[in-house]
Structure 1
Amino acid sequence: MARKKKIINNTPYPQHAIDAVARCLWPDIVAFFESEEGQKEFEAWKRQQDKENMEQENQLKAA
């Protein structure tokens, strides 16, 4: 039997409120990332992350 993960909520908001907002936003988030525009933005974000990671690695090597 799989264990259910314990939710860690370190905010002043009750978990049911966070869940309700997430349920409202989720369909729009999924639709955006499935769209052509969302795919392009995600690819641009990944390239930016790769660039930042390379810069960070180079700084560590130089130190």
Structure 2
Amino acid sequence: MKKKQPDTNIPQHEIETVARCLLPEIQKFFESTEGKKEFEEWKAQRAKETEKERSI
């Protein structure tokens, strides 16, 4: 019997199949100019939020 993810009824092999399909596309996005720009914007936003939380 295959292990299931916690709190789901989705078999692990199905999750892994979907992940194998999505991972190359996610990697391509983050290697692209647009993906790098969005990631830098996200990091800057996250840093602002973290700084705001520390000052409270």
What TM-score bracket applies, with the shorter chain setting the length?
Answer: 0.7 to 0.9
Distance in 2 (alpha carbons) for counterparts of 1:8 and 1:21: 14
Higher Rg: 1
Alignment of 1:40-55 (within 5 A): 40-55=37-52
**Equivalent pairs, count:** 53
TM-score w.r.t. the length of structure 2 is: 0.88
Please report how far the alpha carbon of residue 42 of structure 1 lies from its aligned counterpart in structure 2 after TM superposition: 0.1
Shift of 1:8: 7.8
Cα RMSD for the two superposed structures: 1.6
List runs of 5+ in structure 1 lacking aligned partners: 1-6
Distance 2:36 2:9 in 1: 34
Identity, in percent, stands at: 51
State TM-score, norm by structure 1. Answer: 0.78
Match for 2:5 among 9, 20, 40? Answer: 9
Relative contact order higher in (CA < 8 Å, ≥ 6 apart):
2
5+ residue gaps in structure 2? none
- Superposed structure 1 runs of 4+ greater than 4 Å apart: none
